[in-house]
Amino acid sequence: MLIKSRVQIDKTQDTTTPQPQVPARFAFFIKPSFPPHCLTTMPDQITFSTTDITELCSRVRQNYNSKKQTNPNERYLISLAGAPGSGKTTFADTISQELSGFAKVIVLPQDGFHLYRSELLAMPDPEEAFRRRGAPFTFNAEAFVELVSNLSDRSTAIKAPSFDHKLKDPIEDDIVIEPEIDIVILEGNYVSLKDEHWNKIGGFVDDTWFIQTPEDLLRERLIKRHLEAGIASNEQEAIERAEGSDMDNGRYIIANSNPTNVVIVTK
């Protein structure tokens, strides 16, 4: 089955440490069970400036140490959700870099669980499937959740797929999460989604985060991304792509994600 092909557990001991990127500018608002759409209306938000990123990492250290005392053989798992263009990858790599002296951290992108183009072609409306690629139904959510359910156990290595943007398809077993990895950051659009399968992820992780970004900034970043990656051949095509499926997916994420423990507001 496809699910099994996406989640493999073995004793392989070779892995690649993710390379951190230059941090973006962030401020942090932290409140338990805090719904993203209510972000600007809560009077008791705790705010951190860009230079206080260590405060959020202190939260991770404290929670990780607490879990280690009671469950020493388990990894600490964080889910990081947000709309396309919200800065999830940059932020996850920034946190990973900040924690590197404390624990062994790996960022696991949801992108490796894109359905293959051949699977999209087999759908009843392949043209619509390709146009909407990146929407929840174009991912193998079951396989992703199965992997997440195994991540806490650090007794064996776990292999996961990555996504090759040149090939426009996943690469199986490209990411290896070794037993010595202490913290895994699950980064993806839908890791806090309320939809079937996705809604199980919160039950497997130790902390849930959400990045909220103004819509105009999302649009600006997406247009730039499409041009730089060669996804769009000109600015007009990049604008149409950003304002179409990408922004539709972003609005859906914001409207249909579960409340998270941590909300990060991009400035």
| Buried residues in 133-158 as b, exposed as e (16+ CB within 10 A) | bbbbebbbbbbbbbbbeebbebeebb
State yes or no: pLDDT of 151 exceeds 50. yes
What is the set of domains in the chain, with CATH numbers?
2-12+23-266 (3.40.50.300)
Determine the pLDDT at residue 240: 86
185-219 pLDDT, tens per residue? Answer: 999 999 999 999 999 999 999 999 999 888 989 98
What 3-state class would DSSP assign to 132? Answer: coil
230-234: Cβ within 8 A, 24+ apart: 231/165
| Buried residues in 24-49 as b, exposed as e (16+ CB within 10 A) | bebebbbbeebebeebeeeeebeebe
Determine the pLDDT at residue 226: 84
Q: Which amino acid is at 167?
A: L
Average pLDDT, the chain: 83
State yes or no: pLDDT of 83 exceeds 50. yes
Percent of the chain with pLDDT over 70: 80
Name the DSSP letter for residue 181.
-
Cα distance between residue 96 and residue 3, in whole Å: 28
Residue 26 token pair: 């962030």
Determine the pLDDT at residue 52: 64
Segment 51-69 shows an average pLDDT of: 89
Segment 161-188 shows an average pLDDT of: 96
State yes or no: pLDDT of 15 exceeds 80. no
State yes or no: pLDDT of 252 exceeds 80. yes
19-55 pLDDT, tens per residue? Answer: 333 333 344 444 443 333 433 333 333 444 334 688 8
State yes or no: pLDDT of 114 exceeds 70. yes
Helix axes 215-228, 247-256, angle to 10 degrees: 140
Percent of the chain with pLDDT over 90: 62
